[in-house]
Amino acid sequence: MAATLGDTRLTPAHKGPRGRRQVIRAVAVVVTLVLGAVGLAACDALSAPGNDSVGAKLAEWGRDHGLGDVVTWLEQLSYAVDQPAVGGAPAGGIPTASGAVNATGRVFDGGDIPLAPVAGGAPLPEEGRWQTVVTAHGRPAVQVAALRPDGQHTSFVVGVLRMDPSLVSGTLHPGTRDPGGTWKASFGLTPTEQKTVAVAFNGGFRLTDPSHNGYYSEGRTVTPLRDGAASLVLRTDGTADVGSWNREVRMGRSVASVRQNLQMLVDGGQVHPTCATVCTLGHVLADAGVVRGMELDINPEWVSGAYFHDNASGPPTGFRLFPAERATVQRYLTPSSRDWFSWRLR
């Protein structure tokens, strides 16, 4: 049987030991070149600025170089072979919030009534209890609660965070790569911003995602705002609103920024029927009293909620919203490759 390599016909004479050695050397050279290219690509990905994890940097590089479907397939495969355990109880019980502080004065609307257990039945000790973690003028500015996410995955704990809008002010921060460009808002918390930061959390999916999420800030539209898309709107006074674009929220003089991501997850206090793989998140939000809610980036490498305490001698002390977060709270103290939100004390 004959085969063709370039313009050279492989005759029986080429199939002797010398011919095989030449073919093996050629294959070895190709493999070496491929591995070298992969190595250079990995170095390029890992040299990206910021505190993103190795996995996150490699995934972002892949998506930027036409490998989005491969990255998504690998993520789905990883989840399929390592699905969360069913049943059981949280190891050590419901955790006490790190950095919990005492506060006096007016409490949040609705008071400090604990969240009802989404898992059903009697709550575990401390489950759903609101704990103050940041204060302003002695009043609770930020509170968190921990509870089991549903009636199946009862060994896991999720964190819920709420803020008093009269005590905090929000900002949409750009990422160095997404959206990229030059902005007045910082890519990472500046030394001045670090003195008053109370909360930070991640933004939405990539702006190149097939869901076509819109991004508007500082009078500029990076990607078009899509009618009906779930939108987190920040006003010029630092307050926020969430709703379907051009239905519940829309453009106006007071709009400072708009970050869109998919469709509404909770609307009118009800979980949207097309919640797909994030129904659990929707039910947790509804249980917490959310009237209109949306999901942001739910990739485990990017899910990040943090709250901070001022430190007179250096950077603020940060705390994860829930212990299982992969992203470090330090990611917000240096330039981030992806967009994110911060909330400072007024």
Grouping H, G, I as helix, E, B as strand and the rest as coil, residue 268 is coil
Grouping H, G, I as helix, E, B as strand and the rest as coil, residue 249 is strand
Residue 95 located in a structural domain? no
Query: Cis omega before residue 179 (within 30°)?
Result: yes
The residue type found at 332 is Y
Cα–Cα distance between 139 and 166 in angstroms, integer?
11
Which pLDDT tens digit goes with each residue over 127-176?
Answer: 999 999 999 998 999 999 999 999 999 999 999 999 999 999 999 999 99
Partner residues linked to 344 by β-bridges: 169, 197
Residue 194 located in a structural domain? yes
- Closest of 274, 243, 247, 273 to residue 260, by C-alpha: 243
Axis crossing angle, helix 17-46 with helix 54-64, rounded to the nearest 10:
110
Q: Please give the chain's pLDDT, 346 residues, in tens.
A: 333 333 333 333 344 555 555 655 554 554 454 445 455 555 665 666 666 777 777 777 777 777 778 777 877 777 778 788 999 999 999 999 999 998 877 777 777 899 999 999 999 999 999 999 999 998 999 999 999 999 999 999 999 999 999 999 999 999 999 999 999 999 999 999 999 999 999 999 999 999 999 999 999 999 999 999 999 999 999 999 999 999 999 999 999 999 999 999 999 999 999 898 899 999 999 999 999 999 999 988 889 999 999 999 999 999 999 888 988 999 999 999 999 999 999 9
- Closest of 204, 101, 94 to residue 146, by C-alpha: 94
Cα–Cα distance between 1 and 86 in angstroms, integer?
56
The string of DSSP codes covering 96-137 is: PPTT-----S---TTTTPPPPPTT-SSPPTTTT--EEEEEET
Residue 312 located in a structural domain? yes
The predicted model scores a pTM of: 0.82
Same domain, 39 and 158: no
124 and 90 Cβ atoms separated by less than 8 Å: yes
Domain that residue 71 falls in: 3-81
Rounded (5°) CA angle 195-197-200: 150
Token reading at 136 = 């302003």
Distance of CA 248 to the CA centre of its chain: 24
Same domain, 300 and 239: yes
Residue 235 located in a structural domain? yes
Same domain, 247 and 330: yes
Q: Give the pLDDT of residue 1.
A: 38
Domain count, the chain: 2
Same domain, 135 and 205: yes
Token reading at 209 = 């995602």
Count other C-beta atoms under 10 Å from residue 47's C-beta: 8
Same domain, 182 and 46: no
Which pLDDT tens digit goes with each residue over 27-55?
Answer: 455 445 444 545 555 566 566 666 677 77
Which residues make Cβ contacts (< 8 Å) with residue 289, sequence separation at least 6? 110
Token reading at 289 = 């009293």
Token reading at 112 = 């400090």
Residue 111 located in a structural domain? no
